[in-house]
Amino acid sequence: MSFLPNARRRPFRLLAAATTAIAATALTISTAAAATPAPAATAAPVSSNKVVPQLQAVGLASTIALSNCSASLVRYPSSLDTDRAMMLTNGHCYEGGFLAAGQVLVNRASSRTGKLLNANGTAVATLKADLVLYATMTGTDVTLYRLNKTFAQIRSTSGGLNALTISSSHPVDGRAISIPSGYWKTTYSCAINGFVGTLREDRWTWHDSIRYLYPNSTCQTIGGTSGSPIVDNTTLQLVGVNNTSNEQGQACTLDNPCEVNADGSLTYTQGQNYGQETYWFTTCLTSTNTIDLNKTGCLLTKP
């Protein structure tokens, strides 16, 4: 996991921004663990009476710099301008520290703040959350905050910035993607190279994770890029959130995620990085844009 080092992280990651890509070393070993296939689901339909969100070019606009991670200003496809705005980052970027395996937070009070950036990487507003709508590091790695202002209010005070729209569709294999980091004010150019049914790191397991094309010198995400949005360059919609990379070429340890294959064997590659899908949120939405974890077809992990 690649958020900025603080008391919980190793400081050498601060130096990683200037390094070149490390040559990948792929290893495969046997293990008794079995892969859990990602569940299939149909995206929730968008109501015809909702405001159609405006799209903006891929870049730093609407990204957010947190104290130790990156984030982004986001909306559902069915969000209204009068709805409270939302901020998306990783579960491991939650202000209370790493969440335990199996832990899920729903409607938890928060006072998290972040700096909203424009296309030039200039901070134009300080955003404040008042609620964690959903957070977990199990099944996926996300924290979704409710902010204390509406989309319309933020747009009117930020020079017209629009929230990134969370796609209601599964990401597309082979598609070119961008990963703009609000923390580093840098955009990484990547491509999707398939999906991992089960990705394991230390005590946490994620499903249907996004694998980036590797090696790729323009896609070497580093500490502080955790929580950055993954934007599809074709649709300009948000399809995932950047969350981890194998740093030392180890298997399934902290900062060294491994892929659990269908036969139970492990594959791990030093330098390989990953993200988590976000259309899962749209499978759990009600007609009033609230998250219902008991909704039929909801993919988000339940408490």
User: What mean pLDDT is predicted for residues 169-180?
Assistant: 98
Which pLDDT score, from 0 to 100, does residue 17 have?
A: 34
Count H helices and E strands in the chain, helices first. 1, 17
At 14, is the pLDDT very low, low, confident or very high (cuts 50, 70, 90)? very low
User: What mean pLDDT is predicted for residues 271-289?
Assistant: 98
pTM for this entry = 0.84
- Please report which helix (H) or strand (E) contains residue 50, including its range: none
- SS3 of residue 154 by DSSP: helix
Which pLDDT score, from 0 to 100, does residue 1 have?
A: 81
Q: Is the pLDDT of residue 42 over 50?
A: no
Q: pLDDT tens digit string along 117-145? A: 999 999 999 999 999 999 999 999 999 99
At 12, is the pLDDT very low, low, confident or very high (cuts 50, 70, 90)? very low
Q: Is the pLDDT of residue 24 over 60?
A: no
- What structural domains and CATH numbers belong to the chain? 22-39+168-279 (2.40.10.10), 63-166 (2.40.10)
Hey, what long-range contacts does 145-150 have (CB within 8 A, 24 or more apart)? 145/86, 145/87, 145/88, 145/89, 145/110, 145/112, 146/84, 146/85, 146/86, 147/84, 147/85, 147/86, 147/87, 148/84, 149/84, 149/85, 150/81, 150/82, 150/83, 150/84, 150/85
